[in-house]
Amino acid sequence: MKNFRISIYWKLFFTILLFILLTSVIIGMLYTGFAPLTEIHTQTKKSLINQTKALTEQITFALENTPSSLEDIIKDLHVKEDADIMIIDTAGNELVSFIEKGLKKTTGDHSQTIESALIQGWDIQKIYYRWELTPIVSVPLKKNNVVIGIVQSYYPRTRNLQGVLPRGATTLISVIILGGLISLLSRYLTRPVRELTKIAREMTKGRFGLKVPIRSHDEVGQLAETFNNMSQSLEDLHNSRRELFADISHEIRSPLARILSDAEILIDRKMDEDERNQHLQAICADVKNLDRLIADLSILSRLELNQVEMSFSRSKIADIISNAASLFILRTKENNINLKQTVGKNLPEVMIDARRIGQVMSNLLTNAIRYTPEGGTIEIGAKQRGQSIEVWVKDNGQGIPEEKLPHIFKRFYRTDKSRSRSTGGTGLGLAIARQFVRAHGGKISAESKLGEGARIFFTLPVSV
Ligand SMILES: Nc1ncnc2c1ncn2[C@@H]1O[C@H](COP(=O)(O)OP(=O)(O)OP(=O)(O)O)[C@@H](O)[C@H]1O
Ligand SMILES: [Mg+2]
């Protein structure tokens, strides 16, 4: 259940479903609220007809007993009784009308109304005026018992027609509720994105490593997780860059300080030729070390940025190994070290940059000689392992403590920092070797037991 993912798809699905359901409910409510308005209550109908009949009798009375014109009578009723009346003749032509502005029915055909008014004595029509149902009651107008036309009386604002909340109010309340719900939902859905934006802004100011809370396991949750990983990587990168600068300045400072002190001694003190040469040689050694450090750093940074061009060619690993070994014969002899080669027979060729792989072997052999006492043995060998050739350099020197093994390929890492000055190592050799091996699509590792020597080995894919 923990890993159950509700994807945005489903969120949207349910949102739309909910939306449709709510809309239907609202439409339903509107419809039911609207229903009484389409029908005029029988009681109301009767009362409206009676009202109109009473009005008509008033008009008939005035026509028969006063000298006032039809127009004056209707005007009088409109002003005094607030009645909205139109008189049409039996052919449907308008004779007189005093009706509130805008209320008047615009459709011209009265024939049905007239017919029904004449036959049953009344007729009711419905029009909508300002969103409300307005009944129009038509009854025949008689003078001296002769029909002279039809009285049409309009009844706007007939409040008792509607039994429920006015339509406008229902709509407004529904829209407010729906709007609120949608707004809440949208806020809920966009919250992680807003959080991401906030943290991303902080990161542009250089504050790395900040995390966004992971609130879901959907696509947005995955994005948040990826974002957090990115933030962590950026922080690591930031820290490693800082450490690198600190390491570099430290590595450069020490030889520079020694050079300065040697130079000052040379200037300040009177000394014989021998002593003078000693100081000059020390200066030369430090300058050489600095030069090598800068060269190493330069190749390492270019390797990390994939900017070192490689020239691959089909090569026999046995040749590369014997070449590398021949370069170290003198040094091993000097240290009374036995250098062995164990190369498997009929090894397939590899596609490599022979010069770079030679450099890797040089780095490994330099280390092996450096950490192997006189009379020791160094073995350099190769064998096939599946689709790769494994190459190794093994010594029986002091070895590497187990807990330090995972670190030896890091830049500037030395198991024993105090030895660096006498041995001249800066801890870049294995880092460079690792990058070269990686550039060939291989892997480099180390195995060792303290006091029993070390074996550093790397793989190279067999050329196809
Ligand atoms: N064969 C080995 N035996 C024992 N320790 C080793 C061996 N090879 C490497 N190490 C340890 O691993 C560390 C890192 O090796 P690496 O070659 O990167 O640096 P370095 O030899 O000290 O300096 P550089 O190679 O830059 O001159 C060494 O300082 C050493 O402590
Ligand atoms: Mg080294």
- What does the DSSP assignment read for 119-186? HHS-EEEEEEETTEEEEEEEEEEEETTEEEEEEEEE-TT-GGG--SS-HHHHHHHHHHHHHHHHHHHH
| Residues 263-277, mean pLDDT to the nearest whole number | 94
Question: Residue 363 carries which side chain, given as an amino acid letter?
Answer: N
Q: Are 151 and 141 in contact (CB under 8 A)?
A: yes
* pLDDT exceeds 60 at position 161: no
Our answer on whether the CB atom of 427 is closer than 6 Å to any ligand 1 atom is: yes
| Residues 237-253, mean pLDDT to the nearest whole number | 89
Per cent of the chain over pLDDT 70 is 90
Block residue for tokens 């064998």: 383
Of ligand 1's listed atoms, the one at least distance from the Cα of 424 is 27
Domain with CATH 3.30.565.10 in the chain: 309-461
Our answer on whether the CB atom of 289 is closer than 6 Å to any ligand 1 atom is: no
Q: Are 429 and 366 in contact (CB under 8 A)?
A: yes
The structure tokens listed for 162 are 């509607």
| Closest residue by Cα to residue 379 from 391, 358, 394 | 394
Our answer on whether the CB atom of 359 is closer than 6 Å to any ligand 1 atom is: no
DSSP tag of 8: H
What does the pLDDT look like over 136-149, one tens digit per residue? 999 999 999 999 99
Domain with CATH 1.10.287.130 in the chain: 208-307
| Residues 378-405, mean pLDDT to the nearest whole number | 95
Our answer on whether the CB atom of 60 is closer than 6 Å to any ligand 1 atom is: no
Residue 211 CA to ligand 2 center (angstroms) comes to: 39
Residues with CB under 5 A from ligand 2 (ion): 367, 429
Query: What's the confidence (pLDDT) of residue 5?
Result: 60
Query: What's the confidence (pLDDT) of residue 163?
Result: 44
* pLDDT exceeds 60 at position 420: no
Residue 330 CA to ligand 1 center (angstroms) comes to: 21
Query: How far from chain centre, in Å, is Cα 356?
Result: 42
Q: What is the DSSP string of 413-440?
A: --S-GGGHHHH---S-HHHHHHHHHHHT
Query: What's the confidence (pLDDT) of residue 166?
Result: 56
Question: How many angstroms separate the CA atoms of 303 and 147, rounded?
Answer: 111
Query: What's the confidence (pLDDT) of residue 325?
Result: 95
Confidence class for position 50, pLDDT limits 50, 70, 90: very high
Q: How far is CA 58 from each of CA 83, 97, 142, 446, rounded to the nearest angstrom? A: 12, 16, 11, 118
Question: How many angstroms separate the CA atoms of 356 and 432, rounded?
Answer: 10
What does the pLDDT look like over 209-238, one tens digit per residue? 899 998 888 888 899 999 999 999 999 989
SS3 238: helix
Confidence class for position 202, pLDDT limits 50, 70, 90: very high
Question: How many angstroms separate the CA atoms of 29 and 171, rounded?
Answer: 9
Q: What is the DSSP string of 30-60?
A: HHHHHHHHHS--HHHHHHHHHHHHHHHHHHH
User: Please, which residues have CB within 8 angstroms of residue 178's CB and are 6 or more apart in sequence?
Assistant: 22, 23, 26
Domain with CATH 3.30.450.20 in the chain: 39-161
List the Cα angle 39/44/46 in 5-degree steps.
Answer: 110
Query: What's the confidence (pLDDT) of residue 162?
Result: 46
Query: What's the confidence (pLDDT) of residue 2?
Result: 46
Compute how many other C-beta atoms are within 10 angstroms of the C-beta atom of residue 20: 10
* pLDDT exceeds 70 at position 453: yes
User: Please, which residues have CB within 8 angstroms of residue 451's CB and are 6 or more apart in sequence?
Assistant: 398, 399
What does the pLDDT look like over 286-338, one tens digit per residue? 999 999 999 999 999 999 888 999 999 999 999 999 999 999 999 999 999 99
Confidence class for position 33, pLDDT limits 50, 70, 90: low
Block residue for tokens 């922080």: 235
| Residues 90-117, mean pLDDT to the nearest whole number | 84
Question: How many angstroms separate the CA atoms of 427 and 189, rounded?
Answer: 51
Mean pLDDT, the chain, integer: 87
Nearest residue (by CA) to ligand 1, atom 25, is 429
Query: What's the confidence (pLDDT) of residue 19?
Result: 81
Nearest residue (by CA) to ligand 1, atom 17, is 429
Query: What's the confidence (pLDDT) of residue 1?
Result: 43
Our answer on whether the CB atom of 429 is closer than 6 Å to any ligand 1 atom is: yes
Confidence class for position 123, pLDDT limits 50, 70, 90: very high
Q: Which homologous superfamily does the CATH classification assign to the domain defined by 309-461?
A: Histidine kinase-like ATPase, C-terminal domain (3.30.565.10)
Q: What's the topology of domain 208-307?
A: Helix Hairpins (1.10.287)
Our answer on whether the CB atom of 413 is closer than 6 Å to any ligand 1 atom is: yes
Q: Are 228 and 269 in contact (CB under 8 A)?
A: no
Question: How many angstroms separate the CA atoms of 134 and 206, rounded?
Answer: 70
| Residues 38-56, mean pLDDT to the nearest whole number | 86
| Closest residue by Cα to residue 357 from 454, 446, 441, 291 | 441
From 430, 452, 458, mutation site for ligand 1 pocket: most ligand atoms within 8 A of C-beta:
430
H/E run at residue 446 = strand 444-448
CATH 3.40.50.2300 fits 39-161, yes or no: no
What does the pLDDT look like over 66-89, one tens digit per residue? 999 999 999 999 998 888 999 999
CA atoms within 13 A of residue 111's CA, in its CB half-sphere: 1
Of ligand 1's listed atoms, the one at least distance from the Cα of 368 is 1
Query: What's the confidence (pLDDT) of residue 39?
Result: 66
Query: What's the confidence (pLDDT) of residue 34?
Result: 52
Question: How many angstroms separate the CA atoms of 259 and 262, rounded?
Answer: 5
CA dihedral 336, 342, 348, 353 (to 10 degrees): -20
Nearest-ligand number for the alpha carbon of 447: 1
Residue 367 CA to ligand 2 center (angstroms) comes to: 5
Block residue for tokens 């500037």: 412
Residue 363 CA to ligand 2 center (angstroms) comes to: 5
